[in-house]
């Protein structure tokens, strides 16, 4: 606030009030419907935070929240950001609990191997006792990786925003920040 206030010629408290007012307006609005031929990609990302009421120690030993993010495979735009769950929640449970599954509905959705048994398109795995996958399954896994890499690129762009690395967000602040950054990401893609 100390840096923003002089830029616009207002006080720090006025800058804070304006941001509190505009923050929810900038947030990503969830879609109600998707095109019939739409392909979506889902993955979870960890956002570190100091608020221990919504965060838990995750696999990287920091207190984090798990956000399920759904991206359109063609446009690379973020279409759904689930509310934060504790960072130690695995992706297949977070998919259902965050409401991302309900928001996507029956649209074709691609995911990584962390979503077994969820009905999503995941890579093929070897069966017990099987040494190699058949060639067609290997080819399918290769194309699956290329498409799914798009969601990782979106995460890389979203996490360049300092607000997600600052860790001072509390309560709904983490969710509002993720929604706002998703909206800003979409605006930059739209041109």
So what's the pLDDT on residue 68? 92
Cross-strand pairs, 40: 72, 109
Q: Which residues of 44-53 are buried (b: 16+ CB within 10 A; e: fewer)?
A: bbbbbbebee
pLDDT value at 100 more than 70: yes
DSSP H helices, the chain, are: 4-8, 12-26, 91-97, 100-104, 135-158, 162-166, 173-190
Confidence bin at 185 (pLDDT 50/70/90):
confident
User: Residue 26: its pLDDT value, please?
Assistant: 64
- Average pLDDT rounded to a whole number, residues 36-47: 89
pLDDT for 72-88, tens place per residue? 998 899 999 988 888 78
For residues 13-23, give the mean pLDDT: 80
Average pLDDT on 48-77 reads 83
As a whole-number percent, the residues of the chain with pLDDT over 70 amount to: 91
pLDDT tens, position by position, 138-172: 999 899 889 989 999 998 888 888 777 766 677 77
- The CATH H-level superfamily of 31-190 is Ribonuclease H-like superfamily/Ribonuclease H (3.30.420.10)
pLDDT for 42: 94
What is the domain partition of the chain in residue ranges?
1-30, 31-190
Question: CA-CA distance, 89 to 18, in Å (whole number)?
Answer: 34
């Amino acid at each position: 606030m100390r840096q923003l206030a002089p830029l616009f010629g207002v006080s720090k408290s006025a800058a804070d009030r304006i941001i509190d007012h505009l923050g929810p307006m900038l947030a990503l609005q969830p879609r109600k419907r998707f095109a019939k031929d739409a392909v979506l990609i889902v993955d979870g990302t960890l956002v570190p935070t100091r608020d221990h009421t919504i965060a838990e120690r995750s696999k990287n030993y920091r207190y984090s929240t798990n956000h399920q993010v759904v991206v359109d495979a063609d446009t690379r735009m973020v279409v759904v950001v689930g509310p934060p769950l504790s960072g130690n929640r695995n992706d297949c449970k977070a998919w259902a609990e965050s409401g991302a599954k309900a928001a996507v509905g029956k649209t074709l959705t691609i995911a990584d191997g962390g979503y077994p048994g969820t009905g999503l398109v995941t890579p093929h795995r070897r069966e017990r006792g099987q040494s190699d996958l058949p060639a067609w399954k290997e080819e399918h896994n290769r194309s699956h990786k290329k498409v799914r890499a798009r969601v990782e690129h979106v995460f890389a762009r979203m996490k360049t925003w300092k607000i997600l690395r600052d860790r001072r967000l509390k309560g709904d602040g983490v969710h509002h920040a993720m929604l706002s950054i998703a909206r800003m990401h979409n605006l930059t893609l739209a041109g």
